Chains A and B, each alone.
Chain A
């Protein structure tokens, strides 16, 4: 799987966006709606805990300013998910990306860390990458996403990036 995945229909996919910056959260929602997502739940970090009952397909989370609470949210979600079902995709988006944060976020189950500000191209790239078989293989062997990008399926990435790079540069 991978190279033939040229289209997608995310209208039935559920998304949880967690960000203390409501303006940035709204902007992220607008970008995701451009990608076709329609089921969007937005929460501030302080109020994200009750989301335990929800079961999003995609989580986009900025753990600042309460890093501990943000990472716990990811960890709790990963703990709840069934071992036999495909995993939700967790993308951490944040303005401050020191190495310890990246390592902690990966340890608790984040698939990607994307630095704010980001382009729509970058976000879509990560989302589409998460649908590929390479992502599943790497997740199952616990190789982190950055290594995956270096190691696997450059052609698939190029097909997405090549098609879109000119649009937002």
Chain B
């Protein structure tokens, strides 16, 4: 029996090899970059606009959107900071204690990082966010 339903599409006349497929996928990904950046900006703007009353589920969804899209385009500082926000939101939800200030600082940092580009000079901001997230997760003020 075939391994899976995709097996029947292998080794057919007119097929492509992995190298060709990856080059095409890479080109398609790059063509999507501008749209992805716009979606990242929209998500950050939505987080900013939601303010302190944002519900955890919405905040998590928007932060995850920023994280995953940034990661697909090698925006590592933005990906890490959005990932930190995701982790912090999960920790706050698990503790049953929302910290609007900590969330707001993280959201503002996302905005700053996006405005100033993905640069190693933002490492200081990232360090500060990590410390804040760690303290928030432990319930310290």
Contact = CB atoms under 8 A, between A and B. Distances in A.
Contacts of A167: 19, 22-23, 26
Contact of A133 (B3, B6, B31): B3
Interface string B1-43: 1111111111111111111011111111101100110010000
Interface residues of B, number: 47
Interface of B: 1-19, 21-29, 31-32, 35-36, 39, 57, 60-61, 64-65, 67-72, 79, 86, 90
Contacts of B12: 7-9
B133 to A, nearest CB: 15
B26 A88 contact: no
B70 to A, nearest CB: 8
**Chain A interface size range:** 35 or more
Interface string A35-72: 11000000000000000000001100000110000000
A12 interface: yes
17 contacts: A8-B15, A23-B65, A24-B72, A26-B35, A86-B1, A86-B5, A86-B7, A95-B86, A117-B70, A118-B72, A120-B25, A124-B18, A128-B18, A132-B3, A135-B4, A164-B19, A167-B19
Contacts of A13: 5-6, 9
B4 A27 contact: no
Nearest to B57: A65
Given A23-B35, A34-B25, A96-B86, A136 B18 contact: no
A132 B2 CA distance: 8
Nearest to A116: B68
Given A23-B39, A27-B32, A31-B25, A88 B5 contact: yes
